[in-house]
Structure 1
Amino acid sequence: MDRKDAYQDKLQAQLDVWKAEIAKLRAKADLAQADARLKYMEEIDGLRAYQKKAEARLKELQDAQGEAWKDVKSGVEAAWDEMSDAMKSAWKRLS
């Protein structure tokens, strides 16, 4: 396995964790009262937007040929940082 493949696997694993976290928030929203449910759903919608951005960056990385993936890496890492920060903030606000 080369460095690009290992990096992609790491990113995909983190995306899978985030998807599971969003699913947990969705389950909490389903159990919440109406006003709290709206708050959860707003957070979830925001997180899904970050998730889509991160997935798009991962796709760019996967499509990069040869050593070009290293040029895409900084954009990927920025999207990952944004997603990570958004997840942390959402859990703080909703816990």
Structure 2
Amino acid sequence: MDRKDAYQDKLQAQLDEWKAQIAKLRAKAEQAQADARLKYMQEVDELREHQKKAETRMEELQRAQGEAWKDMKSGVEAAWDEMGEAMKRARKRFS
């Protein structure tokens, strides 16, 4: 396995974990009282937007040829950082 494959596997594992966490937060939002439900669902929608951005970066990385993927790492990592921070904020708000 080359470095690109290992890097992609690491990113995919994190995406899968976030997807599971978002599903749990969505379930919690659906069980909330009506006034809180709207707030929680907005938070879930924001997380999904961050998730889509991270997935798009992952797809771009997968399409990169040769060593070009290394040039894309900073953009991918920025998307991952944004998603990670959004997840932290959401977990804090949902607790």
* TM-score under structure 1 length normalisation: 0.98
2: CA distance, partners of 1:82 / 1:30: 25
Q: RMSD across aligned C-alpha pairs, in angstroms? A: 0.5
The Cα of 1:65 is off from its aligned counterpart by: 0.2
Aligned residues: 95
Gaps of 5+ in 1: none
Gaps of 5+ in 2: none
Identity of aligned residues (%): 80
The equivalences for 1:34-53 within 5 A come to 34-53=34-53
1: CA distance, partners of 2:36 / 2:51: 22
The Cα of 1:14 is off from its aligned counterpart by: 0.2
2: CA distance, partners of 1:17 / 1:35: 28
Larger relative CO (CA 8 A, sep 6+): 1 or 2?
A: 2
* TM-score under structure 2 length normalisation: 0.98
What is the aligned partner in structure 1 of residue 21 from structure 2?
21
1: CA distance, partners of 2:72 / 2:8: 12
- Stretches of 4+ aligned residues off by more than 4 angstroms: none
The Cα of 1:80 is off from its aligned counterpart by: 0.1
The Cα of 1:5 is off from its aligned counterpart by: 0.2
Report Cα offsets for 1:1-47 as digits up to 9, x if no partner: 00000000000000000000000001101111101111110000000
